[in-house]
Amino acid sequence: MMICRIIALVVVACSVAGCASAPSPGELDRRAIAVMQSSFRDQGIAKVDRLHQDLGQQACSGASPPPADTVKRIEAEALASIRWPAGGRYLGDWREGEKLAQNGRGMTWTDASASPKDNGASCYNCHQIDKKEISFGTIGPSLWNYGKQHGVKDPTDPASAAIVQYTWGKLWNSKAYAACSNMPRFGHMGLLDENQLRHLMALLLDPASPVNQ
């Protein structure tokens, strides 16, 4: 580790002064990592260890997607990581879900704690959900009428099991269905707890939720 650091520093010095010959793409990759490691510091709950990438983060750090076999591996590992809800209870209270969806806070260096109870789900940042909220993002697809569009009349009906389970899985670890999804892994990364996820499930799938009117 120590040796790596020293090499990194030498490399940065070289990169800043400009080297005689143009470095190779692989060499630039290494220098970029060294720049990342030297440019950040701990602040509050946001420590530099957040820059340690897992396989998926590393593979999805390019302008183009990773090779097909890597995609397959990331998705398979993510799918296997999903923890299904205790007692098979998938749905909570859509009202609580709406509050979480509106709340974009959590996990930044200005947040006091990384505990799920202090985190929002940031859904409206990227998705349309309840149509009444006009301030929504478009990075993800619209979720207006999500349950209705999927024909969910009773979420406990076995006929709805597939979409209910998919939705839980997507919230728990979005990478199970798209290796480089822009969506955070809310369950897998400990951002939200099971009950919070149930509330979001209800917002999307409960026939009584304003989303499905």
Residues numbered 86-115 forming contacts with other proteins, rule: CB under 8 A: 102-111, 114
Q: Which CB atom, from 2 or from 17, has the smaller least distance to other proteins? A: 17
Q: How far is the CB of 119 from other proteins (least distance, A)?
A: 9
By CB under 8 A, residue 139 contacts other proteins: yes
Question: Which residues in 56-75 contact other proteins (CB under 8 A)?
Answer: 56-58, 60-63
Confirm if 164 and 90 have CB atoms less than 8 A apart.
yes
Look up residue 212 and give its DSSP letter: G
By CB under 8 A, residue 55 contacts other proteins: no
Residue in 2, 3, 138, 154 binding other proteins, rule: CB under 8 A: 138
Alpha helices (runs of H) in 103-160, residue ranges in sequence order: 123-126, 146-149
**Binding mask of the shown chain, residues 157 to 196, with x at each position contacting other proteins by CB under 8 A:** ----xxx-xxx-xx----x-xx---x-xx---xxx-----
Question: Which residues in 21-50 contact other proteins (CB under 8 A)?
Answer: 22-23, 28-29, 31-33, 35-36, 38-43, 46-48, 50
Q: Which two tokens stand for residue 77?
A: 């590992």
By CB under 8 A, residue 134 contacts other proteins: yes
